Structure 1
């Protein structure tokens, strides 16, 4: 039986990484934690990335319900979590009406 050195694994042993939650569990937990802290309903996670420090997410949150629904205000929150999925910080980075798309960027992007 061969063992992988911790140096080859970026300083982490297989046992260290086996007990960490996967992406689905982290996203679910992040939405619950953000909703509990802000009192706002998290509608979706629009992006996520595993980093050396844990996780970075962009979470879409319903901030203000309006009629018609296309006029409701949503916000994007940048959320950071530790490797175990515990929320370590968040901030609102964008606020927009549900029915509005971002303006086109130069070059068609």
Structure 2
């Protein structure tokens, strides 16, 4: 159907699509120009100045740990469960260290009847900032019903 015979609405829709396409092309051209300009500035800037600029930029951003306390505790519990084959009973301590986290995880080592005689163990887990296991060790064992007695 020739354009003059098309209903007015269909022609209006095509004009709108053409306008959108032209707008997108202009936007792409502007972005491309900006990227070329950035690349050119980076090539012309002396290497030492570029390095200094990058170092300054890194210094400006405050360094945040990759893990918050809750995520660190969950990660530590998963590591202990994976290594001991026993489910974590709870988190007994949590401390932010210089390079990561130190977390205490309690595990039931031996189940008994009555459960007040279960033997519990506490594991100290050290994680780096990304949640990777740095170290773990069992620090103590005790009966559930008598926290002061050590097994």
Which stretches of structure 1, 4 residues or more, deviate above 6 A after TM superposition?
none
The normalised TM-score by structure 2 is: 0.56
Partner of 1:106: none
**Greater Cα radius of gyration, structure 1 or 2:** 2
Higher fraction of helix: 2
The answer to whether residue 140 in structure 2 is matched with residue 87 in structure 1 is no
Partner of 2:86: 40
Give the match's secondary structure for 2:64: helix
Give the match's secondary structure for 1:102: strand
The normalised TM-score by structure 1 is: 0.76
CA distance in 2, matches of 1:22, 1:4: 24
Number of residue pairs the alignment of both structures matches: 94
**What is the CA-CA distance between 1:101 and the residue it aligns to?**
2.5
Partner of 2:103: 57
Q: CA RMSD in A?
A: 2.2
Instruction: Provide structure 1 residue ranges, at least 5 long, that are not aligned to the other structure.
Output: 104-109
Higher fraction of strand: 1
